[in-house]
Amino acid sequence: MARLSLSDTDKQARDWFHRTTTDLGCKVHTDAMGNQFAVRPGLKNDQPPTYAGSHLDTQPSGGRYDGILGVTAAVEMLKVLNDNWVETAYPVGVVNWTNEEGARFPMSMVASGVWSGDIPLERAHNLKSVIPANDTATMKTELERIGYLGDVACSWKASPMAAHFELHIEQGPILEAESRRVGVVQGVQSYKWFTVTVRGRDSHTGATSFQHRADALLTASKMILASHKIASKHSALASTGILTLKPGSTNTVPGFVQFSLDIRAPQDETVNAVEADCKDAFSALAAGENVLDINTGCAPSSRTCSVDWRTDFVSPATHFHDDCVACVQAAGADLCGSGDVNGKDVGAWGKLMTSGAGHDSVYANKRCPASMIFVPCRDGVSHNPAEYSSPEACADGANVLLGAVLRFDKLRAERGH
């Protein structure tokens, strides 16, 4: 699946969304970032809708579930409400957020970020397409071109939400591995992205003894291993996805290595602790000291490397709203037959989870109560054509989404707002 944001195929999907939700009796509007909001009236329409939704764009070589499942399940929710003549206390909405992937315009969750007030509209409008490489389009010119530059301001004030529920595939292997049907998502992990630069000294692989080397790649390898050991100790994650080196010749010891480091944990403090431990360990490894037994058995060297850190991105932990989490949990229990919704353990059918990846719900949660529902995907594979969730898993997710929205509507009715 390749449906890059604001492409011709994205326009087709948007047209489908507009037509289908209108046909289902919704009033639909589009904001200045192309976010689409479809609202089915309730009994009291002077209050904001309870929303379900996600995104319709994909990675350049993506799957058929990431994002799309959350929108189509929300549209299915509208059908079920209509088919069963359900009257909700408050309006119910479906949202399609623009460019969640950040694949074509390189800032993920950018349109929900503008909506929440975290990203300036002009910065988002001026983002340049990176796919295809020779494209000169910006978000604004593409929104205009496909007719989705809406006349409503992109803002939580102009399009308020009483709550935001998002169904998504897990994009990880845990639910499948533990045979759980539904993930009740309590929040999104804290994460920080760094670029680490190790400088040593180019030298001839044949003519330079270990003692006289400052091998930037050997040192970087030790650092990657150290980051893994440190993260393991803290029950956190540390990952390197990019590594480049110079000069890049079989018979030259590299004098320069740069690598990415992605540290994640449910709590900000844990991420900071892993960062601090890694900084200590990397400095010691660059200086040739033994850390975590990594240098044991290595030939000592009289030369050392230097190490520099650059912080590229900081995303603090998101804690979803208790009310929304409780609605998801109760809806899961309703569907799967376990009544224990009070304890920490939700029962064999489900799992309380922290999302490893970012989602539009992170920005939504800044302006209204939010939570997410995860369903298992095969082998945890995502952002790949092999991405797959079974029809049963998709149905579970859609049912829990419907149940959570109805429960939240009921909660609002009880509270009177």
Between 50 and 203, CB nearer to a copy of itself = 203
Q: Does the protein bind a copy of itself through residue 107 (CB under 8 A)?
A: no
Q: Does the protein bind a copy of itself through residue 270 (CB under 8 A)?
A: no
How many whole angstroms from its chain centre is CA 248?
34
Task: Out of 19, 79, 128, 233, name the contact with a copy of itself by CB under 8 A.
Answer: 233
Q: What is the C-alpha separation between 352 and 187, in angstroms, rounded?
A: 10
Q: Does the protein bind a copy of itself through residue 138 (CB under 8 A)?
A: no
What's the min distance (Å) between Cβ of 409 and a copy of itself?
30
Tokens of 12: 């087709």
Between 132 and 160, CB nearer to a copy of itself = 132
Q: Does the protein bind a copy of itself through residue 378 (CB under 8 A)?
A: no
Q: Does the protein bind a copy of itself through residue 179 (CB under 8 A)?
A: no
Binding mask 304-343 for a copy of itself (x = CB under 8 A): --------x-------------------------------
Task: Out of 19, 79, 128, 212, name the contact with a copy of itself by CB under 8 A.
Answer: 212
Nearest Cα neighbor of 264 from 313, 325, 201, 208 is 313
What's the min distance (Å) between Cβ of 240 and a copy of itself?
6
Q: Which residue is listed with tokens 């064999």?
A: 348
For a copy of itself (CB under 8 A), the number of binding residues is 67
> How many beta carbons lie within 10 A of that of residue 297, not counting itself?
7
Nearest Cα neighbor of 199 from 255, 283, 261, 259 is 255
Q: Does the protein bind a copy of itself through residue 136 (CB under 8 A)?
A: no
Between 101 and 142, CB nearer to a copy of itself = 101
Q: Which residue is listed with tokens 């990675």?
A: 59
Residue 287 CB partners (closer than 8 Å, separation 6+): 304
Task: Out of 9, 141, 155, 208, name the contact with a copy of itself by CB under 8 A.
Answer: 208
Task: Out of 228, 279, 366, 378, name the contact with a copy of itself by CB under 8 A.
Answer: 228
Q: Does the protein bind a copy of itself through residue 218 (CB under 8 A)?
A: yes
Q: What is the C-alpha separation between 254 and 205, in angstroms, rounded?
A: 9
Angle at 416 between CA 411 and CA 417, to 5 degrees: 85
Tokens of 404: 């959570």
Q: What is the C-alpha separation between 284 and 288, in angstroms, rounded?
A: 6
